[in-house]
Structure 1
Amino acid sequence: MTVPAGYHAAAGATASSFKSFADKIIHEKTGMEMILVPAGSFAMGPAKKVQVTIGEPFYIGKTEVTNAQFRRFVEATGYDGKGDIDPDPDYDLYLRHWRGKSIMSDKDDYPVVWVSWKNAKAFCRWAGLNLPSEAQW
């Protein structure tokens, strides 16, 4: 069974039909479980559908990024998010959740919320991951 560098096979993983890649893996830096999405074609869009082809299989997180995973990123990098958004007087309210001041912040396995696209991109840069494209999502 093939596993990309920086990952290990998840418990119960099996070899997929694509070059024997594991069907589920663990990203070592974040602990995120990733699942293999096969290549294929599908109709995308609500009204005027467009035929989309994903040429190569890819891995995507089985769940959303959790509070614990995002906190690990913030603690490892000192990231405060302020450089990633236009000035806004309400931004400190926006950042409050993942700075540990929200009612949900201490729930490690809950999805992190109030994360902008730029915050998510910064997390992915640190983790060595990518945000999914619209078609992959």
Structure 2
Amino acid sequence: VFGFITVSGGIKVHRQNCPNATNMLSKYAYRMMKARWTSKAQHQFQVKISFTGIDDVGLVNQLTQVISEDMRVNMQAISMESKDGVFEGTITALIMNTTHLKELMGQLKNVSGVHTVERVDEEV
């Protein structure tokens, strides 16, 4: 991650692979600063995760149990669709840090029938 000093003097944190990173670096290198995530985050950040797999009775219940009860993650949105026995879904949730995110994604991958779990890179 890196910090970008805004025109109002605030700092926005961006991932290195942010779609806008190359443009910001080439035009505003003087407004960049080093940044890093710590494992002791005091604030949560929003993340969107997509997942796919084989649909089955109770799947949504299993996923929400992992997210809310097992991992104690606050879900802000959930969406799932199923067609021909295959489901696609996304969740938007508040995560403490990247370690917490990796743990959540690992737990979701362990749910029976889930094949893929990926962080969704949203354009800024």
Per the TM superposition, whether the score is higher than 0.5 is: no
Which protein is richer in helix relative to its size? 2
TM-score, normalized by length of structure 2? 0.30
Which protein is richer in strand relative to its size? 2
TM-score, normalized by length of structure 1? 0.28
Higher relative contact order (CA 8 A, sep 6+): 2
